Structure 1
Amino acid sequence: MIKRVVYLFSLLAVMVLAGCSTGSPNGPAQASKGEILELAADIRALGSDVDPEEAYRAAEIAHLYTHQLSQQYQITDGPLIHNMKVNMGNRPRGLCYHWAEDIEARLKQENFQTLDLHRAIANAENPFRLEHSTAIISRRGDTMFKGMVLDPWRKGGVLHWDTVEKDTKYNWVPRDKVMLRKRELRLSRERGERSRASG
């Protein structure tokens, strides 16, 4: 834990010295029609049975809702600076898991028939990297590993997408699996503390 805190403070110092704020005072720009069409084509490519209308609707919502959330979250900086502002209480939301749960919830409202939604977490057991959450869209019936990452956090309110397979910056693990592991570790620690207290 101490190593992680030292790493994070070092990272913060480097960011401040480098002036790494990548945002703008008005927040990120809204996606172009071309970006929406590009994502729609990538979602269609997940499988021949993906409905083109659903792929387009998912792409349009993912982009437009990302922009809407960036305004609600008051994004004016890069993701790490914004995280600091959220953690200090200066911004309402905008941590990676906020983006992931809000994007997933909005897309689920569409009740897609040919697409599924998933959640994933990376770096949960790496003390030298920040844990990161994302939403993933896939062809109906496929696992998240055959899906498309929808990640507005990493570019500070601009939607990043790529297939899970090609998104090598992160080693994505199903969120349920990560949460189960965290629960098991917490229970194990609690048992150890009780054992030490009674011994």
Structure 2
Amino acid sequence: MSLIRSVFLGLALGVLAACGSYGPTDVSSHDVAKLEAGLLALGPEVDPDEAARAARIAYEYTAILAREYEIADAPLVHNTKVNMGLKPRGLCWHWAEDMENRLLKENFQTLDVLRAIANAESDWLIDHSTALLAPRGGGLRDAMVLDPWRYGGRLAWAPVPEDTRYDWVPQEVVHARWRAEIAAGKREAPPVGATLK
């Protein structure tokens, strides 16, 4: 890498790191209540107790993971540190996988835990993974995005149709495409760290 590129990358990472505070925060009952209401608005079949539990877990587990991942920087800066071996975890797919696994432990009866990936076909944007909650039997367009990576350990959430920042695709669709590309010799392997389900 040229000296000029190295200096530019260092400056860019420094600017990103200075653009706000990151990492675990206290869980606000007001924020949990807003997410609970959002989950209830997904459909009349969503049980109020499950919506309340899911909302509380989503916020509390985000804070737990932010501490475990040692989040102190903007997401892309933290990604760089993870990829350099300086931090243990904290790539978007780590957040998505860990959130998915935690929510699945609840055995919800009226909510399905889903996964989605954005930017998987982009040549210049990095893939972005997230966990979602949908009413039982609902699909991606019916789901609520739960994205702790986006703001560096602060939970971002929105119904999929309102989350215009990303064009979410079901994880299984992206993984099937990657498997087909690998089989056809168009891709050597899935992206670093991706486990094809």
Q: CA deviation at 1:16?
A: 2.8
Partner residue, 1:162: 158
Distance 2:6 2:153 in 1: 23
| SS of residue matched to 1:81 | helix
Distance 1:120 1:11 in 2: 32
**Once the two structures are superposed, what CA deviation does each residue of 1:100-151 show, in whole Å capped at 9, x if it has no partner?**
0100100010000110010000001101111000001011111021100000
Partner residue, 1:16: 13
Larger radius of gyration between Structure 1 and Structure 2: 1
Partner residue, 1:109: 105
Distance 1:171 1:11 in 2: 29
Distance verdict in 2 for CA 1:165–1:95, change over 3 Å:
same
Q: Is the contact made by 1:138 and 1:147 (CA closer than 8 Å) also made in structure 2?
A: yes
Partner residue, 2:62: 66
Distance verdict in 2 for CA 1:190–1:128, change over 3 Å:
closer
Distance 2:78 2:173 in 1: 28
Q: 1:135 aligns with which of 131, 150, 165?
A: 131
Letter of the aligned partner of 1:90 in structure 2? L
Partner residue, 1:86: 82
- Which consecutive residues of structure 2, in runs of 5 or more, have no partner in the other structure? 188-197
After alignment, is 180-189 or 11-20 more displaced? 11-20
Partner residue, 1:153: 149
- Which consecutive residues of structure 1, in runs of 5 or more, have no partner in the other structure? 1-7, 192-199
Partner residue, 1:39: 35
Task: Give the paired residue count.
Answer: 183
| SS of residue matched to 1:29 | coil
| SS of residue matched to 2:106 | coil
**Once the two structures are superposed, what CA deviation does each residue of 1:13-62 show, in whole Å capped at 9, x if it has no partner?**
5623535444648x331221100000000001101121111000000000
Distance verdict in 2 for CA 1:9–1:180, change over 3 Å:
farther
Distance verdict in 2 for CA 1:10–1:177, change over 3 Å:
farther
Structure 1 segments, 4+ long, off by >3 Å, are: 8-14, 19-25
**Once the two structures are superposed, what CA deviation does each residue of 1:137-186 show, in whole Å capped at 9, x if it has no partner?**
01111102110000000000000000100111111001011011111111
Q: Is the contact made by 1:23 and 1:75 (CA closer than 8 Å) also made in structure 2?
A: no
Distance verdict in 2 for CA 1:52–1:149, change over 3 Å:
same
Distance verdict in 2 for CA 1:54–1:10, change over 3 Å:
farther
From the two aligned structures, give the one with the greater helix fraction.
1
TM-score (norm 2): 0.86
Partner residue, 1:51: 47
Distance 1:85 1:132 in 2: 17
Distance 2:6 2:37 in 1: 41
